[in-house]
Amino acid sequence: MIARPPVALPLLALAAFLALFAMVVGGWAPLESFDAAISDAFRGYGDQRPDLVSVLRLATDVAATVPFLVIGAVVSAGLLARAERRLAACCAVVTVVVPVLWSLMHWWVHSPRPSNGFVVVHSNGFPSGHTSNASALALLAVLLLWPRFARTGRVVTVALAAAFAIFIGLTRLALLAHWPADVLGGWLLALAVVPSTVYAVDRIAPRPRVPALSANRAPR
């Protein structure tokens, strides 16, 4: 069983993502000024803490594409081995679709990364791939584990998942690998894609109705 978040969540996330996308593509001056100011602050912070930058270079790669694909494949295979085909399908689709989407946008959308960053990446930057991967993994974990836990377990799961997604996003900013708009785009992309995948799989393979995420009651 997998929890289904409110339908409004992916719709609002998609609307926000499209609005942000339009501002990035259109070169909206206030957004560019905000991006530059935040990145300059992180540059100054990183220049004074080279040891921390070295640690973040290692930590950020937890959400790189290869680890994300490996984790997604292992979890999908494990769910399939337990005959949980619907859950395996959700996990497999998210594992494939999220990297494909942000990769296509990197190819299509001209959005250069900050110059002279603490890591060098030769591609466009919107949205952040690491952030998209981390957020998709975190949200998928919440939806998979939500029906299995009582209230305390759910709170801990959500807190850890949110902390992981936020941490990876911040590493991309601290390393000057992305602008803030890129990181926000990664968060929004995951919030739009993961719940939509759950609903799409349910549409293809109907199941008994399960209460929405916000209405689920903790088991006693």
Tell whether 116 is covered by a domain.
no
State how many domains the chain has: 1
CA distance 210 to 23: 37
pLDDT digits (tens, 9 = 90+) for 133-176: 999 999 999 999 999 999 999 999 999 999 999 999 999 999 99
CA distance 155 to 136: 18
Tell me the residue range of the domain where 55 lies: 8-110+123-205
Tell whether 215 is covered by a domain.
no
Q: What is the mean pLDDT of the chain?
A: 93
Tell whether 104 is covered by a domain.
yes
Tell whether 217 is covered by a domain.
no
Tell whether 162 is covered by a domain.
yes
Q: Coil, strand or helix: which one is 220?
A: coil
pLDDT digits (tens, 9 = 90+) for 168-207: 999 999 999 999 999 999 999 999 999 999 999 888 865 5
Tell whether 147 is covered by a domain.
yes
Tell whether 219 is covered by a domain.
no
CA distance 192 to 19: 13
The model's pTM: 0.91
Q: 136 and 5 in contact (C-beta within 8 Å)?
A: no
Tell whether 115 is covered by a domain.
no
Query: Among candidates 92, 63, 64, 66, which has minimal Cα distance to 77?
Result: 92
For CA atoms 13, 218, 160, 194, the dihedral sign is negative
